[in-house]
Copies of this chain bind each other. A is one copy, B any other.
């Protein structure tokens, strides 16, 4: 059931990504290269699953919001892979953007992906202006100087340093968690409910769990399976959840986070939340 859901989301969102980027110049080609490569599109799926708990969002708008978050996520991957950042040559099963298009165009493609993420929300005629503004607030806040960008900065800064479990949780929550939390909240757009806090907490918990499992997979999987450099953290002497608290405690922590995310949703008897719960489970069980 989950696989069917994920592939349905991926099909719709991929098609829209291709549509909104176009293919008429070199920058658009560079943007397409990274967005259209193999991706699980977990963030997109979270928007759809979160929106399924109510009936206010039209499917077209779910597609727009999911596309927007995937554009932001992809821009961050392109910039993170740059030589000045994590210097990774492989991503999503193929060469990184800057290896194929050169550093200058990779930086520019990332910049243009960010602009496009806001543009397509502003252009969505199915959303009210009020909802568009709420969405743009959520997104810009999640990915900016107090969110994803700060997380990436702290992540690089933590290289070769001894940091605590609390510090790595803060880095992971900013770098990865914020955008995942944002995806869950975007799915709640146009749903005026008293459950905002529950969804926020759900997003925060699974966001952190997601990055812990990312660290775990990087430490234990093969490069071929993950489709990216597996020695990247080691090469960059990154602080990871695994080398701070060990494999067993890392897996325990991610289980605990997913469980508390799921419990809150169940306790509040959120309707049609099956897929959201499936996704929370998947995030801790995934193998790539």
Contact = CB atoms under 8 A, between A and B. Distances in A.
Interface of A: 21-22, 25-28, 31, 75, 79, 82, 84-85, 102-105, 107-108, 110-112, 114-116, 118-119, 122-123, 128-130, 132-133, 136-137, 140-141, 143-146, 149-150, 152-153, 156-157
A145 B27 contact: yes
Contact of A118 (B28, B75, B82, B118): B118
Nearest to A114: B114
Among A25, A144, A152, the most chain B Cβ lie within 10 Å of the Cβ of: A144
A144 to B, nearest CB: 4
A155 to B, nearest CB: 10
Given A27-B153, A111-B149, 19 more contacts: A25-B145, A26-B157, A27-B150, A79-B107, A79-B111, A82-B84, A84-B107, A104-B156, A111-B143, A112-B144, A112-B149, A112-B150, A114-B115, A115-B143, A116-B145, A122-B133, A128-B129, A129-B133, A132-B133
Contacts of A150: 25, 27, 112
21 contacts: A27-B145, A31-B145, A82-B84, A82-B107, A84-B104, A84-B107, A104-B156, A105-B153, A108-B152, A108-B153, A110-B111, A111-B111, A112-B144, A112-B149, A114-B115, A115-B145, A116-B140, A118-B118, A119-B137, A122-B136, A129-B133
User: Lowest 3 CB-CB distances: which A-B pairs, in order?
Assistant: A84-B103, A115-B144, A119-B140
Q: Is the interface of A mostly helix, strand, loop or mixed?
A: helix
Given A25-B145, A84-B103, A112-B144, A118 B136 contact: yes
A28 B153 contact: no
A146 B119 CA distance: 12
A115 to B, nearest CB: 4
Contacts of A156: 104
A65 to B, nearest CB: 15
Given A132-B129, A133-B133, A122 B140 contact: yes
B107 A145 contact: no
Contacts of A75: 111
A21 B146 CA distance: 10
Nearest to A152: B108
Contacts of A107: 79, 82, 84-85, 107
Nearest to A110: B111
Contacts of A110: 111
